[in-house]
Amino acid sequence: MSSVQQQIFEIIAKEAGIDIGRISLDSTLKELEIQSLDAVQIIFEIEDQFKITLPDRDPNFDTESVKGLVDAVERLVAAKSAAVPATSG
């Protein structure tokens, strides 16, 4: 399990008040019975934790499933890292 995946599982479990053992990559937020307000809070926590902004209603990003969230965060974090210029020294 990647560290991104682990952190996202922990955020979902904490914000939704569910056991982390219930969460899998194949889960959707709906299947985990996460209410829309909690889902929004989960997105905010993920953005805050990783210092990224998840696109809203972008067809290239699936924010309805756990796997989609993990994939989106990994892509955005990689893009952000690539955009940071290396310091010479």
pLDDT, tens digit only, all 89 positions of the chain = 789 999 999 999 999 999 999 999 999 999 999 998 999 999 999 999 999 998 877 787 788 899 999 999 999 999 988 887 766 55
d(CA 7, CA 4): 5
Q: What is the pLDDT of residue 33?
A: 95
Contact 55, 10 (CB under 8 A): no
Q: Which residues pair with 28 in a beta bridge?
A: 65
Q: What is the pLDDT of residue 16?
A: 94
Domains of the chain: 3-82 (1.10.1200.10)
Q: What is the pLDDT of residue 88?
A: 57
Sequence-ordered alpha helix ranges (H) in the chain: 3-16, 36-50, 66-83
